[in-house]
């Protein structure tokens, strides 16, 4: 069984400041890891994904994440946030053995303070 | 390429009724998954279809069912609606990669 823990339910950050959204996972098999963003009244948009290879993954809108196998973490970072980054962010995991089921964390609401 | 489309976007039903939601995947994608999103339970996997066959199922009662057609379009049905079924229902399609692309969702309100 897999599980995902997003340690912070809400993160307020001043505009142009850096941010880190934390994600830890638990799995008995190798995994794929994803970050999705959800803007109000919309579906989920893929920010970035880790499938294999380099542990530093770059995504859209200036976000990046680092896969740390020893710490079972996949934290999301952005060096300078903008008002438009206000949204809910979800970390998700799936088994890389053909299991198409995504297991999501509970989400982190990022609020940018002008 | 057009994205995943879901219809209708909003739906209001009363307890005891049934509802059918539709999802059209990205062209060429053969896998369609459904998720339920609620404030209390978060995002939960319902089921996944590939080439008209259900391959994977989440932990939901039998009132929740689905199907997939030969053109990969999928429908999910909820019978005997309960207040707790009020949620955003998200559909995701997957092609040859391991990435699921989500539609905008159908917001179901049960009164």
CB environment B27-61: b (16+ within 10 A), e (fewer): eebebbbbbbbeeeebbbbbbbbbeeeeebeeebe
Question: Is B29 an interface residue toward A (CB < 8 Å)?
Answer: no
Within 8 A of A36 by CB-CB distance, chain B residues are 102
Kindly report the nearest CA distance between residue B28 and chain A, in angstroms: 17
Q: Which residue of A has its CA nearest to B43?
A: A104
Model confidence over B4-34: pLDDT tens digits? 999 999 999 999 999 999 999 999 999 999 9
Q: Which residues of A touch B48 (CB under 8 A)?
A: 100-101
Q: How far apart, in whole angstroms, are the C-alpha atoms of residue B4 and residue B32?
A: 10
Q: Does B50 touch chain A (CB under 8 A)?
A: yes
Q: What is the pLDDT of residue A97?
A: 61
- Within 8 A of A104 by CB-CB distance, chain B residues are 42-43
pLDDT tens digits for A18-65?
Answer: 999 999 999 877 889 999 999 988 899 999 999 888 899 999 999 999
* Distance, C-alpha A112 to centroid of its chain: 17
Residue range A79-108, pLDDT digits in tens: 999 999 999 999 999 886 655 789 999 999
pLDDT at B84: 96
CA A105 to each of CA A7, A57, B75: distance values in angstroms, whole numbers, following the listed order: 9, 19, 26
**Contact (CB<8Å) B100/A102:** yes
Q: Which of B92, B100, B104 sits opposite A42 (nearest CB)?
A: B104
φ, ψ of residue B53 to 5 degrees: the values are -115, 135
Q: Average of pLDDT values for A68-79?
A: 95
For chain B, which ranges sit under pLDDT 70? 1, 98
């Amino acid at each position: 069984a897999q599980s995902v823990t997003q340690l912070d339910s809400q993160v307020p950050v001043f505009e142009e400041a850096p941010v880190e959204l934390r994600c830890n996972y638990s799995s008995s098999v190798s995994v794929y890891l994803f970050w999705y963003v959800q803007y109000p009244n919309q579906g989920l948009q893929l920010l970035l994904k880790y499938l294999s290879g380099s542990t530093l993954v770059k995504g859209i809108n200036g976000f990046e994440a680092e896969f740390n196998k020893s710490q079972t973490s996949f934290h999301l970072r952005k060096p300078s946030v903008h008002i438009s980054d206000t949204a809910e962010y979800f970390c998700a995991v799936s088994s890389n053995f053909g299991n198409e089921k995504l297991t999501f964390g509970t989400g982190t609401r990022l609020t940018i303070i002008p | 390429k057009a994205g995943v489309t879901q219809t209708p976007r909003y739906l209001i039903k009363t307890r005891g009724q049934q509802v059918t939601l539709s999802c059209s995947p990205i062209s060429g994608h053969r896998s369609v998954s459904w998720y339920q999103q609620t404030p209390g339970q978060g995002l939960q996997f319902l089921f996944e279809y590939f080439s008209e066959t259900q391959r994977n199922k989440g932990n939901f009662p039998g009132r929740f069912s689905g199907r997939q057609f030969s053109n990969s379009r999928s429908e999910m049905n909820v019978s005997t609606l309960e207040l707790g079924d009020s949620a955003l229902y998200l559909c995701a399609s997957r092609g040859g990669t391991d990435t699921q692309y989500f539609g905008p969702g159908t917001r179901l309100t049960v009164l």
